[in-house]
């Protein structure tokens, strides 16, 4: 057996970067999350040659202050938490300080242009593969405040990922549109624009595709993305845990915002084979299957079908629904997988009981019939 030795820092870093940034969509996700953390109300994603040539995310958020700029690309450098305990009051998507560094490691080049309201002019910074600034120059690209991150040849330094990205190029745009839908639904006030630039950089053919404008509510975003017919069949409900009935004074608040098919909705419109279960915790999209929250989708499906008096196995299709669980970050742990889409829930039973209450409010109370007694 070979002797155990410590990996050199370059190898260790690249192995880790490959977990954070798996494909072009994951770059878009990390940059969109950074834009949302910076309180942007407008986010534009530009894909040059389906992202293979470059991907750029431009936001109108806070921008990055002068003193923070040298740290942006360094591993484990973040402005979002200062110590482990801060995870208990986390209100941002990011906290590990690794995405920008990992992207620098994989890509041919990364440049970042930023301006805060206090800066007279924007500045553009070029980063090397270690995440260190190598050049800077003034830029007129941002007039108010915000940040634009441009990733040139995303998988230049990882041949297998590059090949995979080429193979999956037809899927990339669709995946990024799905990503915009997922984040757009829980951030109705944010305008998202996705632009494809085909063949030959900025001089090439531009295919603009507005994904969603600013809307007042999530239901309005659903209307915009999925159409009026589906939106008109949904019920929008918020329920808050009733503290009067709570035993524990230091109990943690729990609010559910659900948008579910109404009892009299047309199942041909509401049910589909495509997964349209949108589940969130504090506006963060959650992979319900990997988070052991599949029960929620099963509960919604069962109650909706019962309300319509459909047999449970009448259709394998599942209903559209949106559910945002709003609670303290003490109640869940997102530090499970590199992409943070998996959560561990602390009091899962309490959550499921509350989902059941929400379903009661939409579909009426549901009583299971007692099992019939054998006749003697």
Residues making contact with ligand ADP (CB under 6 A): 30, 34-35, 38, 59, 61-62, 64, 68, 72, 78-80, 94-101, 147
Asked if 289 and 98 count as a contact pair (C-beta separation under 8 A), the reply is no
The region of 87-95, 144-152, 190-198, 262-270 touching Mg ion under the rule CB under 5 A is 87-95
Q: Output 257 or 340, the one with its CB closest to ligand ADP.
A: 340
Binding status of residue 131 toward Mg ion by CB under 5 A = no
Of 99, 173, 211, 260, which one interacts with Mg ion (CB under 5 A)? Answer: 99
Burial 64-94 (b: 16+ CB within 10 A, else e): beeeebeebbbbebbbbbeeeeeeeebebbb
Asked if 90 and 78 count as a contact pair (C-beta separation under 8 A), the reply is no
Q: Output 34 or 265, the one with its CB closest to Mg ion.
A: 34
Distances from the Cα of 77 to the Cα of 101, 105, 152, 341, angstroms? 9, 15, 22, 21
Q: How far is the CB of 296 from ligand ADP (least distance, A)?
A: 27
Q: How far is the CB of 328 from Mg ion (least distance, A)?
A: 21
What CA–CA distance (Å, rounded) separates 260 from 262? 6
Q: Output 64 or 179, the one with its CB closest to ligand ADP.
A: 64
192 binds, among ligand ADP, Mg ion, none (CB under 5 to 8 A by kind): none
Using DSSP, state whether 267 is helix, strand or coil.
helix
DSSP codes, 32-49: HHHHHHTT-SEEEEEEEG
36 binds, among ligand ADP, Mg ion, none (CB under 5 to 8 A by kind): none
Q: How far is the CB of 75 from ligand ADP (least distance, A)?
A: 8
Q: Output 69 or 169, the one with its CB closest to ligand ADP.
A: 69
- Residue 339 CB neighbours (<10 A): 18
Asked if 222 and 230 count as a contact pair (C-beta separation under 8 A), the reply is yes
Q: How far is the CB of 221 from Mg ion (least distance, A)?
A: 23
Q: Output 114 or 265, the one with its CB closest to ligand ADP.
A: 114
The region of 30-38, 151-159, 173-181, 194-202 touching Mg ion under the rule CB under 5 A is 30-38
Binding status of residue 94 toward Mg ion by CB under 5 A = yes
Region of residue 275 (left: phi > 0; alpha: psi -120 to 50; beta: else): beta
Q: Output 91 or 360, the one with its CB closest to Mg ion.
A: 91
**Alpha helices, DSSP H, located in the chain:** 9-20, 24-37, 99-106, 159-167, 169-186, 218-226, 228-231, 267-270, 294-307, 348-363
Binding status of residue 145 toward Mg ion by CB under 5 A = no
Which residues make up the interface to Mg ion (CB under 5 A)? Answer: 34, 94, 99
């Amino acid at each position: 057996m070979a002797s155990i030795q410590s990996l050199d820092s370059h190898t260790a870093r690249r192995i880790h970067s490959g977990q954070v940034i798996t494909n072009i969509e994951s770059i878009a996700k990390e940059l969109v999350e950074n834009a949302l953390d910076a309180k942007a109300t407008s986010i534009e994603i530009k894909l040059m040659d389906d992202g293979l040539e470059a991907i750029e995310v431009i936001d109108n958020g806070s921008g990055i202050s002068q003193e923070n700029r040298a740290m942006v690309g360094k591993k484990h450098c973040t402005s979002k938490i200062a110590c482990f305990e801060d995870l208990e009051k986390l209100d941002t998507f990011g906290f590990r300080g690794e995405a920008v560094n990992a992207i620098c490691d994989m890509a041919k080049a990364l440049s970042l242009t930023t301006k805060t309201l206090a800066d007279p002019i924007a500045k553009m910074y070029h980063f090397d593969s270690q995440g260190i600034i190598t050049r800077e120059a003034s830029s007129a690209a941002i007039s108010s405040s915000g940040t634009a991150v441009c990733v040139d040849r995303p998988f230049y330094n990882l041949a297998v990922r590059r090949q995979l990205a080429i193979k999956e190029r037809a899927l990339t745009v669709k995946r990024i549109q799905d990503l915009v839908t997922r984040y757009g639904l829980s951030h109705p006030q944010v305008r998202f624009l996705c632009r494809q630039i085909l063949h030959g950089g900025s001089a090439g053919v531009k295919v603009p595709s507005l994904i969603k404008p600013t809307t007042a509510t999530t239901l309005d975003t659903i209307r915009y993305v999925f159409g009026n017919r589906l939106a008109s069949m949904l019920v929008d409900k918020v329920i808050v845990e009733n503290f009067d009935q709570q035993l524990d004074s230091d109990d943690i608040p729990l609010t559910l915002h659900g948008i579910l098919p109404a009892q009299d909705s047309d199942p041909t419109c509401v049910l589909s084979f495509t997964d349209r279960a949108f589940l969130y915790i504090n506006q963060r999209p959650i992979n319900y299957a990997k988070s052991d929250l599949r029960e929620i989708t099963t509960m919604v499906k069962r109650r909706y079908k019962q309300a319509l008096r459909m047999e449970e196995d009448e259709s394998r299709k599942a209903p559209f629904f949106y559910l945002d669980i709003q609670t303290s970050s003490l109640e869940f742990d997102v530090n499970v997988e590199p992409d943070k889409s998996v959560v561990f829930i602390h009091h899962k039973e309490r959550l499921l009981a509350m989902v059941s209450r929400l379903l009661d409010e939409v579909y009426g109370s549901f009583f299971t019939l007692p099992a019939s007694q054998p006749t003697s």
